[in-house]
Amino acid sequence: MTNMDLEDKKHSKLINAFSYAFAGILFALKTERNIRIHFLIAAIVVLFAFIFSVSALEWMLLLIVIGVTISLELVNTAIESIVDLITEEHHPLAKAAKDIAAGAVLVSCIMSVIVGLIIFLPRFFELF
């Protein structure tokens, strides 16, 4: 196998990896209500950020909390799917895994709301 063949193979694997990742996001969007809610709220936040001309630092903070929250929701969905695949019976450890993953999303959501309030609340008050 030549170096060119190896490069093509690596490139193909990289494309496949991205394809699988996007397929996972699309699957979650099609099947999970909460991820759709997170994307909707993210779109609203981005719209407000444009309307209120937030600073570069504020953009970075907003994008970080949006990215972390959506990522955690995807991980939560994956954990729930794995637990459901492994067992159909109610097991305390299965419940704990699901609850802990959901708790991680909740913590991220709370922190995201706090960041959003810090950034947007003063701007809303300036309108009145």
* Residues 66-86 pLDDT 10s: 999 999 999 999 999 999 999
DSSP assignment of 59-94 = HHHHHHHHHHHHHHHHHHHHHHHHHHHH-SS--HHH
Torsional class of 87: left (φ above 0), alpha (ψ -120 to 50), beta (otherwise) = beta
Low-confidence ranges of the chain (pLDDT < 50): none
Q: What is the pLDDT of residue 88?
A: 82
Annotation marks residue 80 as catalytic = no
Cα angle, residue 25 at apex, residues 23 and 26 outer, rounded to 5°: 65
pTM for the model stands at 0.86
Please identify which of the residues 7, 32, 73, 80 carries the catalytic annotation.
73
- Residue 98: what pLDDT? 96
